[in-house]
Amino acid sequence: MSRINKKFYQLNKENQKAFIPFIMGGFPNIGYSKSLLNKLPGLGADIIEIGMPFTDPMADGKIIQDAGHEALKAGFKMNFLYEMIEGFRKIDKSTPIILMGYYNPIHKFGSENFIIKIKDLGVDGLIIVDLPPEEDNELCVFCLTHNLHFIRLLTPTSDNERLPTLLNNSSGFLYYVSVAGVTGTKVPVKQIVASEVDRIKRHTDLPVCVGFGIKTPQDAKAISTAADGVVVGSAIIETIQKGATDSEVSVFISELSKSIHFK
């Protein structure tokens, strides 16, 4: 059983939902992001999503775009991310890590080489925003070969006709984008999200996690009642951008976790 499958199995037994914080690799600098990554399990993270900075992040709103650009300006290289994950795995063998990014840098590295590299480091899943299922031969097939979860994004426009194509080769969990548009903009409406999650679940047994537009612990709590997990990214990044202290950032992340893990 993979770390991701094991995590959802454990959460389901405890009648709990997954808290999935997103951080940007190398933001605001490599030392800070390394330290924050190592803290996240203790702050209640069930699964950790790490963004790979990219020059043209078309699915990301201004907050995460700026974070990625700041990381790149600070000298971020993929080797820094590899070292972060390697260091994390020395102290935490069980918390799943997924990487989110865009295909261009992976293509440059070599798709299968990249999958082998991150799998060996202890990465559990991959979200690539700009590769539709029609392009599975570019990357997804190598995830299947090397037992790495390929996690799809589903959106409000993913209708029942499109769903079978999106579900094919998907594993780990599904990431439902709760609002149309880019990250960190509109606030999702719980009733609509619940209806969409129910619709998706009629087509798959995979857990459905919800992200985009979740700004507060109250938002996270509401969405957690409608989904198997909640992804929070822009709100965490924005807290750091606004100059919050390490302690304030930790408190905010902990409050998000507690709101999702309520009984």
Task: Specify whether the CB–CB gap between 258 and 216 falls below 8 A.
Answer: no
| Spatial CB neighbours of 233, under 8 Å, sequence gap ≥ 6 | 21, 22, 23, 49, 51, 64, 183, 184, 211
Active site residue: 60, 124, 196, 228, which one? 60
Active site residue: 14, 46, 49, 246, which one? 49
Distance, CA of 60 to CA of 226 (rounded, Å): 24
Q: 60 catalytic, yes or no?
A: yes
The number of beta carbons lying within 10 Å of the beta carbon of residue 136 is 17
As given in the structure block, the two tokens for residue 251 are: 């408190």
Residue type, 163: L
As given in the structure block, the two tokens for residue 211 are: 């992200």
Distance, CA of 87 to CA of 62 (rounded, Å): 30
Give me the count of residues in the chain: 263
Give the CB-side neighbour count of residue 9, counting CA atoms within 13 A: 8
- CA distances from residue 195 to 9, 13, 200, 226 in whole angstroms, order as listed: 23, 23, 9, 8
Q: 66 catalytic, yes or no?
A: no
What residues act catalytically? 49, 60
